[in-house]
Amino acid sequence: MLSELEKRLKELANPEKAKLLQGYFKTGKGEYGEGDIFLGLVMGENRMLAREFRDMSLEDIADLLKQDVHEKRMIGVLILVDKFNRARKKGDSEVMKKVYDFYLKNARRVNNWDLVDLSAPHIVSGYLLDKKDRTVLYELVKSDNLWERRISILGTFSFIRVEDFDDCLKISEMLLKDGHDLIHKAVGWMLREVGKKDVGVLEKFLKKHYHEMPRTMLRYSIEKFDENVRKRYLKGEV
């Protein structure tokens, strides 16, 4: 199955698009995506291949995640999401746990923001949604690995959708001093989602923390506010 996927990837490779993606995903020396290699597939093509190879084994997906080629890891991640979502629809808790455990074991190879954002809200957040023990999120948030920290906050997405905000707010507080812009964006995004469900909860959090929030985090979290209110927050006048 892997050899057939390699063949399909070669057929769809686009060197010109690959150059653009190499820049967009910051693959230069010292940047967050250093060493990432792109073939130039667009997202629709990645999704098409994930559907085509949806029955790939976890062993083969593990091989994909070890690769430096971004599209290979992307397809592996998309297949995992598909496996998890299909199992959830069937109520197959055994497969859901197997995919969840596999994902966390390989979390450091889910190593770009798009890979995290397409998977953690489904696999991590989806699995923990009805679980009382969410300790794993508080272990991930303390990780020295950027991607595991991003997984920790994106792992609260499903909770927010059912107005269960506590873990998102606690993890957001823990990440206020994080030094990476990709964490600031992710936290701001989740806080904005909280505001969509209950603006009062978001405003309470902001009034307590907005003076210490990184600028990007604050901007993302208040994106849906009235323009005049946004300006007051940004000027520190709330």
- CA 220 to CA 202: how far, in whole Å? 12
- CA 66 to CA 73: how far, in whole Å? 8
- CA 35 to CA 28: how far, in whole Å? 7
Confidence of residue 226 (pLDDT cuts 50, 70, 90): very high
- CA 219 to CA 116: how far, in whole Å? 21
- pLDDT value of residue 82: 98
Answer yes or no: is pLDDT of 238 > 90: no
Distances (CA, A) of 126 to 35, 70, 158, 210: 30, 24, 6, 29
- CA 66 to CA 63: how far, in whole Å? 5
- pLDDT value of residue 57: 96
| Average pLDDT across the chain, whole number | 96
Confidence of residue 236 (pLDDT cuts 50, 70, 90): confident
- CA 83 to CA 85: how far, in whole Å? 6
Task: List for the chain the helix, strand, coil content (%; round to 5).
Answer: 70, 0, 30
Answer yes or no: is pLDDT of 113 > 90: yes
Nearest to 73 by CA among 113, 15, 29: 113
**Domain extents for the chain?**
1-108, 129-238
Residues found in the chain:
238
Answer yes or no: is pLDDT of 237 > 90: no
Nearest to 21 by CA among 41, 45, 1: 41
Answer yes or no: is pLDDT of 170 > 90: yes
Distances (CA, A) of 60 to 27, 54, 56, 57: 25, 11, 6, 5
SS3 of 1-70: the string is: CHHHHHHHHHHHCCHHHHHHHHHHCCCCCCCCCCCCECCCCCHHHHHHHHHHCCCCCHHHHHHHHCCCEH
- In the block, which residue shows the tokens 């070669």? 10
The CATH label, of 1.25.10.90, 1.10.3720.10, 3.20.20.80, 2.60.40.420, for the domain at 129-238 is 1.25.10.90
For the stretch 73-104, pLDDT in tens is 999 999 999 999 999 999 999 999 999 999 99
For the stretch 172-204, pLDDT in tens is 999 999 999 999 999 999 999 999 999 999 999
For the stretch 43-64, pLDDT in tens is 999 999 999 999 999 999 999 9
- pLDDT value of residue 102: 98
For the stretch 135-146, pLDDT in tens is 999 999 999 999
- CA 225 to CA 55: how far, in whole Å? 44
